[in-house]
Amino acid sequence: MKVISLFVVAGLLLVLATAAASAPEDPHSTMNSSNHNNLAEMALIAGVAAAISAFVVHRLSSNNQKESTPYPYPGTFLQSGRTQTGTEETMVLQSRGWSMEEALSKAKEGSQKAKEKAPLQVLLSLQKGNSRFWTGAATRPEVSAFERRALIKQQFPSTAVLGCSDSRVPVEIVFDQGLGDMFVVRVAGNCLGPTTCASLEYAIHHLQVKVVLVMGHEGCGAIQAARLPLEKIQNESKSLSEILQKIKAGLQDDHLSNIVDARARDRELVAMNVRNQIQQLVQDPQIMDKVNGGNLIIVGAFYEISSGIVDFFMQVSKPDGSMKPSTGVQSRYDPETKEIIFA
């Protein structure tokens, strides 16, 4: 409305200026020709200024409208649906907000869809999410207050992660996931212990996650510290010393002398630690029942900080071959021999 008013004022001033400039001089008027021309010029300048102001206001309002246009709400707030365009029903909810009843209804719908997803689908979504991250195409979705409300009463993550507490490894960001998508357990050296194991068991048996991901990373300080002489490790605090000694016990240094490159040696140590944690998980018969039933995949991964790429290098899945290994998997756990088989 303000823009229209400015355009109207500009038009009237321009008409006035034109009329003043073309009007014949009145011999009886006290205004001389100079004042007459000045009045016309002032009206012309005012009209042009009003027109410019109207144009600027119009452009600014257009830009603000574009910037304030909300991200189109997906038909569902599940990770698999964020690329979908908003449905008519959701757009209506967006305009007036969700009631608690509607939020709970959406939560129930999301929970059901999460249960229907196969483990391999979840694993592929993690691979795709990481690809978006390291190629610079991450969506990093920011859910609305209404969608957050749907998570108040219930969570339904599809993935549980045992990762390192290193600040350079933000798990949800690395896999381009949103709120409620991942159940993350982080501890120095991604090392299993009573509390971390209990957290993963809760995610597996109560939250019904489809993938358990054990992920180490490039340049892990806990792995490097675990290679120090035992005397130095024992000088640390009791809790830290216990973790480092546990990691150290699983690192076999006998074959590392053949690896000359420092980064390759670092990667092998981290991968070795990841395999050790997975071998502890698969000793749990209840967890393996989930795996053998095709309801769970356990995956070992290595995150390269320098590139942002996650390499899924180990997989524990249903042994009948119905689940194909993900691209890049170099080793698998054989439940019969209880050994890790390398490709």
Q: List pLDDT tens digits, range 132-142.
A: 999 999 987 66
266 labelled binding-site residue: no
Q: What angle do CA 307, 308, 314 make, to 5 degrees?
A: 105
pLDDT of residue 79: 38
Of 182-186, 210-214, 316-320, the one with minimum mean pLDDT is 316-320
Segment 206-240, tens digit of pLDDT:
999 999 999 999 999 999 999 999 999 999 999 99
Provide the edge-to-edge strand list for the sheet that holds 331-334.
182-186, 159-163, 211-217, 297-303, 310-316, 331-334, 339-342
Residue 188 has pLDDT above 60, yes or no: yes
Whole-angstrom distance, CA of residue 77 vs CA of residue 92 = 15
Confidence band for 23, pLDDT divided at 50, 70 and 90: low
Residue 246 has pLDDT above 80, yes or no: yes
Which range, 27-36, 116-125, 325-334, is most confident? 116-125
The three-state secondary structure class of 301 is strand
pLDDT of residue 144: 72
pLDDT of residue 83: 37
With pLDDT > 70 as the criterion, what percentage of the chain qualifies?
A: 61
Confidence band for 282, pLDDT divided at 50, 70 and 90: very high
Whole-angstrom distance, CA of residue 287 vs CA of residue 305 = 30
Least Cα distance to 171 among 209, 132, 215 occurs for 215
164 labelled binding-site residue: yes
pLDDT of residue 339: 65
220 labelled binding-site residue: yes
pLDDT of residue 75: 37
Cα–Cα distances in angstroms (integers) from residue 343 to residues 214, 254, 313, 317, 332, in the given order: 19, 21, 10, 15, 8
Please count the other Cβ atoms lying within 10 Å of the Cβ belonging to residue 316.
25
Assessment of whether the complete model's pTM goes beyond 0.75: no
Cα–Cα distances in angstroms (integers) from residue 195 to residues 189, 199, 200, 247, in the given order: 14, 6, 9, 16
Q: Looking at residues 58-81, what average pLDDT do you find?
A: 46
Which range, 154-158, 329-333, 337-341, is most confident? 154-158
| CATH fourth-level superfamily of 102-342 | Carbonic anhydrase (3.40.1050.10)
The residue extents of the domains of the chain are 2-67, 102-342
pLDDT of residue 331: 57
Residue 200 has pLDDT above 70, yes or no: yes
Segment 83-141, tens digit of pLDDT:
333 444 544 444 455 666 776 676 677 677 777 889 999 999 999 999 999 999 998 76
pLDDT of residue 114: 73
Between 154 and 230, the more confident residue is 230
CB 122 within 8 A of CB 80: no
Name the average pLDDT for the chain. 77
pLDDT of residue 335: 64
